[in-house]
Structures are given as structure tokens and as C-alpha cells.
Amino acid sequence: METVTAAIPASSVTVEEFIQTYANHPVYLPPRGPQLHAKNWQSEAALRMFLNNLTAEVAENPEKLVVYGGIGQAARTPQDARKIVELLLTLEEDESLLVQSGKPVGKVRTHAEAPRVLIANSNLVPHWATWEHFNNLRERGLMMYGQMTAGSWIYIGTQGILQGTYETFAACGRIHFNGDLRHRLLVTGGLGGMGGAQPLAATMAGATFLGVDVDPERIKKRLETRYLDKMTYDYREAMRLVLAAKDKGEAISVGLVGDIGDVLEQMLQDGITPDILTDQTSAHDPINGYVPNGFSLEEARQLRESDPEQYRQKSLKSMARHVGFMLELQRRGSKTFDYGNNLREFAQQGGEPYAFQINGFVPEYMRPLFCEGKGPFRWAALSGDPEDIRVTDEALKELFPENTHMINWLEQAQEKVAFQGLPCRICWLGMGEREKAGLLFNRLVREGKVKAPLVIGRDHLDCGSVASPYRETEGMLDGSDAVSDWPLLNLMANTSGGATWVSFHHGGGVGIGYSQHAGMVVLADGTDRADRCLSRVLHNDPALGIYRHADAGYETAQQNAAKFGLQI
């Protein structure tokens, strides 16, 4: 018998009643508990995670359906969001919903182990893959920007990138500072969305942190969710706080309201050189994601609306100035790296010819993990009960007692991470580990140790799911940085393997024209069907990372291919 959770018939709540309760724009709320509203848990999982992306605890701007990353949306219009909800509530187990750049466009006949939702976002024929063409289509209501996990319904708030950021900072510490970031100052720009993970990741890694953002509301949100310790509008106060903490070896985080370029310029004038320097402003979108130097937020909004091309040019020049200061601090000794927002490319367009003398974070710190099939494994408790996440944390610690790095991470996360929306967790796991974890989670559901099914997904930033020459695939050993066959193969492998929903996007992380990437989510509902799908998908997904890097000539990946029987 595969029935594992109590469920009410879908007919007990009408579609209209459900929408009024959970999806009455702009107020979106994911249902919680074991009760079923859709016709099956596969559709219910997609429904809950779609609404979780848009709930005010998670989304940057529910009014505009923006989840994170400037204009990264979960649906194209409020009408499209409503229609997605209606269709998910009524979708059968032998149907799959098609979503084209945030708009539901049809259903196709499939089967019970096929994905319930097939999503494509922001994809353009290469010759037309520019921000200008995309923005023209967007203004006409023909497209939306899906970012990475915004349009694939598996964004889990700032925690979603937290461990990846922590792993990056920790790797920087291992390579440059003998594994000890105490008495080290880390400076960065951007505390919205993905950048908001930086302060907590830095302090968890042991560093003293200063983050700068022009928008005070973004900093306040990090305070409210306990990702940040202190906030100030005063540069001098910020410097006193972080320099005193650095001297004492205290891992505190300070958010400073200001322009990151101005702050770096002042640091140079004051002779203050951070130990580590990076940036996570939304520079991937020069019009909607970056505020030009010298503009208030309101002045920037007005210019963005009245003259977007002039705005873009001012952004590019500001990025060139910003990167120029980063380069000077690098020359003075800061360990400086690009954190994947395409800042270097736009700075070069704005007039900084040496922008790419700053290296990217993937070739510097993350590629060895990718060669092991490791990446950002994440899961959500559809019950809405934080206790279910505690149960999964403890179960993973028992499953992998030798993985002390993972156990340390989970214990810190239990203590320090505040949930946003449905309780979720992220934990970097590699080839072999992901499949074991997925089957374990399914058993927890089957045995009633958690109160409702769990969904397992990941960031698109993973070992084998992205082609992004200025980020995930920068500096590949064989020069295959721009080959995007790999994310397409990842998409097809996870679709045929039985993921619960899949997605293929263009432009996430670094902007239109610069990346293509695939996402997947798979359900653990305690059924035998889920066991089969979990086993296939959580094998295939990290295997693509090993295949991709082994093919590029990385010896570690080739060794892992042999270890896991992936050689052909």
C-alpha cells in the first residue's frame, strides 16, 4: 500500500475558495500540513513550492511576482499566477503542465512517473539573446526573467545560497589563510536576495564581515531574519565596528547603507585593505539590478522609467569605477574574486579594460567540489513544521557519520538559520550521497516520522546543470566554457528519470546572453513510485557533473567516474 499521508478530497475545497485563501494577489501563502488540495502529491508539491516562492517571507516583491535577483519572477502576470494555481489543483497523474516564461500554455499527456510540470524561462535564439531584445519582449508581456530558482519554484529564501557561500568563503580561507578566517575582514556589496546570505556565511566561516547596500530595506530584512548582526548608515561607525572585531577575532557582520563604489574609494583613501573582497550586487541586470553611482533609489527609479538606455550607460560606467577600486585593493593585497554576477563583463563594457584580472569564484574555489558531483542539495518540509527539518537533519547525521564537515554545517544551521516560508534546509552532497539521502527521506515519510511529504531540489548553480562562461564554466580545462549541451543533457536525464518538475532557463545569475541552465525538483511522498524516481534522478543529476568535468579533462572527475561506475 502506497498511501502514506492523510488527505482530504480535492473537491472539499473549491478552486475559488483555495485561491481566496492561498493565492489572492498579492498575498500568497503555501498550504501546510498533510491535507491534500490538488489531486495528487506531485501536483500539490509544485503548488506549495510555487506559492512559497511568492509568499512575503520569501519573495522580494510579491506585488510584481518578483522572487529575487532584480526582476526574477515566479509567474509572468497575476492572471498567469492564478491560472497556474487553478491548473495544478486539477492536474491528473497522467498529465503535465507546460509553462512558458511564467505563463501556463497547455497540458500534455504523460504518465505517473513523468514530471508534472515542464518549465522553460527566458530562452531566446542565440542571435537575439540580448537584454535589449529580452526587455522589448518583456515590456510587451511576452516573456519574463526566471533567474534560476525564481521561475523554477524552488527558491527557499536566503538560506538557498547560504551553504554555497559558506563553502566559497571557507575554501578561500583554506587556500589563502591556513583555514582560519578569524582576524580577517571580508568586504562585499549587495545584501538583497542571494547576496543576503553573505553575512551569515562569513561569520559561520569565522570572518569579520562588512556588507554594503544602497537599499536600507534589504539590510533590514537580513537583520530581521538573523543573517546580519548590525546595521548602520555611517561609514565611520561601520569601520570602527569591523576593525575592532577583526582585531579581537570576532565573527560579527555589519551592514552599511551606501554605495559600494564610494565605500571602496573611501577605504582606499583611509588605507584600509580588506583581507577578502567580492561582490553580489545584482549587476547581471544593469537596468533593474544596479543603482548607478550618485543616484538615490528614487532618482534611479525615475531615470530607469524615463530613459532606460541612459540608465544602462550610467550603470556600466559605475560598474567600471566599482571594479577599478576592487582592482586597486587587489593590488594592495585583498584576495579578490568575482562572485558570479557578471560584474566584470559590464565593467569592461563601461570602460575598465582590466576587469578580468579578477578571477571568478568557481575556478578559484568550487571546481574541485564539482568534480566530485557535489552541489547544493536542498529540501523543503511540505508540512510547514520545523520539526520535520530537525528530523531530516538528525537522520542525515546518522546516515553519514563520517562526514564531519556536513555534520558541522547542519549543527550550525540548526542554531543560526531562520526559516523563510516553508521550513527548508540546504546541504552540499555529492555523487552517491544524494541518492542515499533521497531514499532515506522517502522512508521517513513512509514511516510517518515526518508529518507530510518532502521535496528535494537544488540551485541551478550545480556541478552539471549550467553553461555559464563567466561563472560555473569559467576557465574549463579544455576551453569548453560556452558549450551548453551539458545543461540540456541534464534536463533530459532528469525528465526521463522522473523528476517531479523540471526547468530550463536562460540568463540566470549573470544575465541574458551569458548562461543556460537546468533545474529539477523531485518528491519524496513515501510511495514506491517515489523510490524509483528518487533513485534515478538523484543518481543522474550529480552524474552529469562528473561526466561533464571528466570529459573536460579533470583528473579528479575521471577518478570519480571510475569510482562510481560512470566510465563508458
* Helix residue ranges per DSSP H, 75-230: 78-90, 131-139, 159-176, 198-204, 216-224
Query: How many whole angstroms from its chain centre is CA 273?
Result: 30
432 is in an annotated binding site: no
- Show Cβ contacts of residue 523 under 8 Å, excluding neighbours closer than 6 positions: 41, 42, 45, 453, 454, 455, 456, 500, 530, 533
- Quote the DSSP letter at residue 61: B
* Phi and psi at residue 504, to the nearest 5°: -135, 125
Contact criterion met (CB below 8 Å) for 378 and 458: yes
Is 430 annotated as a binding-site member?
no
How many helices and strands, by DSSP H and E, does the chain display?
A: 20, 20
330 is in an annotated binding site: no
198 HSE (CA, 13 A, CB side): 29
Is 462 assigned to a binding site? no
Give dist(CA 211, CA 248) in Å, integer: 19
Residue 147 annotated as part of some ligand binding site: yes
**549 a known binding residue?**
no
Q: Are the C-beta atoms of 120 and 99 separated by less than 8 Å?
A: yes
Q: Annotation-wise, does 194 bind a ligand?
A: yes
By 3-state DSSP, what share of the chain in percent is helix, strand and coil, each rounded to 5? 45, 15, 40
Cα dihedral 199, 202, 207, 213, rounded to 10, equals -30
427 is catalytic: yes
CB 471 within 8 A of CB 400: no
Is position 213 annotated in a ligand binding site?
Answer: yes
Angle at 564 between CA 559 and CA 567, to 5 degrees: 65
Residue 443 counted as an annotated binding residue: no
**Preceding amide of 542 cis, omega within 30:** no
- Catalytic residue, candidates 371, 427, 463, 533: 427
Cβ atoms of 287 and 135 within 8 Å: the answer is: yes
The cell numbers describing 264, all together, are 571602496
247 is in an annotated binding site: no
Taking alpha carbons only, the member of 279, 264, 282 closest to residue 339 is: 279
Nearest to 171 by CA among 334, 304, 367, 453: 367
Phi, psi of 257, rounded to the nearest 5 degrees: -80, 120
Tell me: is residue 195 an annotated ligand-binding position: yes
101 is in an annotated binding site: no
Burial 95-107 (b: 16+ CB within 10 A, else e): bbbebbbbbbeee
Residue 349 assigned as binding residue: no
3-state secondary structure of 191: coil
Judge whether 158 is annotated as a binding position. no
State yes or no: 450 annotated in a binding site: no
- Which sequence positions are flagged as catalytic? 427
Residues making up the binding site:
69-70, 147, 193-195, 213, 218, 280-284, 290-291, 339, 509
Residues making up the binding site for NAD(+):
69-70, 147, 193-195, 213, 218, 280-284, 290-291, 339, 509
